[in-house]
C-alpha cells in the first residue's frame, strides 16, 4: 500500500489489514515478557475449570498490540507518521488460542494542527476474528505529516 499522508484521510478512506493467528507461544511469551503472570493466562486447569472461557485466551493488551502491528505492516504509515498520540479501546469478545484476527480501519476524525506540515487523524479500528465477530474496537489518534511539496 502507498504511504497515506494527512490529506489522504477523507471520509471514505478504508483499510483492511492482513491476518494473524494467535498461538500458545504468543500468549505465554507476551504474558511472561510484560509480567501478566496470572492464572487466567498461565494455568490451563484453572482456565478450563474456573473461568467462563473454558480455554486459553489472549490478553486484551496482546490483541491490541497485534492489531497495531497489522496496521503498521500495511506500510501506509511509513514515513508519514510522526507520533502515536493515544487510543481508546473496548474489548468486544475474547480472543482464544488459535483465533485469527484482522483489522478494518476507517476515519473517525481528521483535524489540522497549528503547524502547517502536520495534522492529526483518529481512526476507528475494528478487530474481528476468523468468524467475522468483533473482538476489539479502538480509536487510534496519530500525528501525521502532510504531503510533501
pLDDT in tens, 86-103: 999 999 999 999 999 999
- For the cut 90, the answer to whether the pLDDT of residue 14 exceeds it is yes
Q: How far apart are CA 59 and CA 63, in angstroms?
A: 7
**Taking the chain, what is the end-to-end CA distance rounded to the nearest angstrom?**
21
**Cα–chain-centroid distance for residue 60?**
10
C-alpha span between 126 and 29 (Å, rounded): 25
- CB-based contact 41:57 (threshold 8 Å): yes
pLDDT band at residue 149, thresholds of 50, 70 and 90?
confident
Report pLDDT digits (tens) over 100-125.
999 999 999 999 999 999 999 999 99
Give the pLDDT band of residue 64 (cuts 50, 70, 90): very high
Mean pLDDT of the residues in the chain? 97
Output the pLDDT for position 1: 78
Amino acid at each position: 500500500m502507498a504511504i497515506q499522508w494527512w490529506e489522504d484521510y477523507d471520509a471514505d478512506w478504508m483499510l483492511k489489514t492482513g491476518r494473524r493467528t494467535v498461538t500458545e507461544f504468543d500468549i505465554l511469551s507476551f504474558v511472561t515478557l510484560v509480567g501478566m503472570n496470572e492464572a487466567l493466562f498461565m494455568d490451563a486447569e484453572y482456565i478450563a475449570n474456573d473461568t467462563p472461557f473454558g480455554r486459553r485466551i489472549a490478553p486484551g493488551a496482546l490483541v491490541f498490540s497485534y492489531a497495531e502491528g497489522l496496521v503498521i505492516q500495511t506500510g501506509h504509515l511509513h514515513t508519514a507518521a510522526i507520533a502515536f498520540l493515544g487510543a481508546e479501546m473496548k474489548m468486544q469478545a475474547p480472543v482464544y488460542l488459535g483465533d485469527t484476527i484482522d483489522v478494518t480501519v476507517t476515519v473517525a476524525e481528521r483535524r489540522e494542527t497549528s503547524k502547517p506540515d502536520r495534522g492529526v487523524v483518529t481512526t476507528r479500528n475494528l478487530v474481528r476474528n476468523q468468524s467475522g465477530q468483533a473482538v476489539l474496537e479502538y480509536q487510534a489518534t496519530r500525528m501525521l505529516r502532510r504531503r510533501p511539496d
